[in-house]
Amino acid sequence: MTFGSLFAGIGGMDLGLERAGMECRWQVEIDPYCRRVLEKHWPNVRRWDDVRTFPPEPIEQWRVDCIAGGDPCQENSGARGYGVASQSSLGGEFLRIVDAIRPRLVVRENPSHIRRDAPWPWWRFRAGLESLGYAVLPFRLRACCFGADHERERVFLLAELADANGHGLEGRQIMQAQRRDTESPRLVQAADRAHLLASRGLRSRAGFPDYVERIRGIGNSVFPACAEWIGRRIMESV
């Protein structure tokens, strides 16, 4: 199962999906610092620097089974401190790329608490996917349920082409798997918790190169264990 990563950031979504057994074929990220992080950890994966000019011709070279990403949430999020929302948000570019490549599956991540004037709330994005012929399942995941020290609740949309071959990613299957993992977690084993837990240290900026870029990259990243859980559900269903 191959996937391409939009708005890849420092690769939190990519890392989680790879842990589930999926293969990353390309990444799109505009931030230079984040691209350096991606180049370090995915040296053999193709990258593009701007979703607004992606995908270049020929389209066939960018075909993947799944497109995953979280378009910038600042204009959608209900968190305090963000600016005024506008229709210039990049959710439309996400849908344009999905329409151009036509993957079997799409995974979209965004905050669960949104503002009234959000340009791309989850239900509008779902309607966009449905207009392209996808069946869409929305659900929420919290990072704290996977061992993190922070809540970080997010709404995910898992979409499948209605005419795609396969068993189908039914909501019933996802919810049963979620209850199963809640009762007996398989992703967060004692031996693995060290790399899943968020850092508790409040260290000084002194001596940390690219401190602001690091904090921004981590703050915008998808928690890898959440992406891994989704990836495992996908791999169980294909």
Nearest to 195 by CA among 147, 230, 152: 147
Residue 48: strand pairing partners: 28
Whether pLDDT at 186 is above 50: no
Q: What is the pLDDT of residue 85?
A: 45
Residue 84: strand pairing partners: none
Q: What is the pLDDT of residues 208-233, one digit of tens each?
A: 666 566 666 666 778 888 999 999 99
Q: What is the DSSP string of 165-221?
A: SSS---HHHHHHHHHHHHHS-SS--GGGHHHHSPP-----STT-TTHHHHHHHHHHS
The yes or no reply on domain 2-237 and CATH 3.40.190.10 is no
212: burial class by Cβ within 10 Å (0-12, 13-18, 19+)? exposed
Residue keyed to tokens 């305090």: 80
∠ at Cα 118 (114, 121), nearest 5°? Answer: 70
Report how far residue 58's alpha carbon sits from residue 56's, in angstroms, rounded to the nearest whole number: 6
Q: What is the pLDDT of residues 129-173, one digit of tens each?
A: 999 999 999 999 988 888 777 777 889 999 999 875 555 555 544
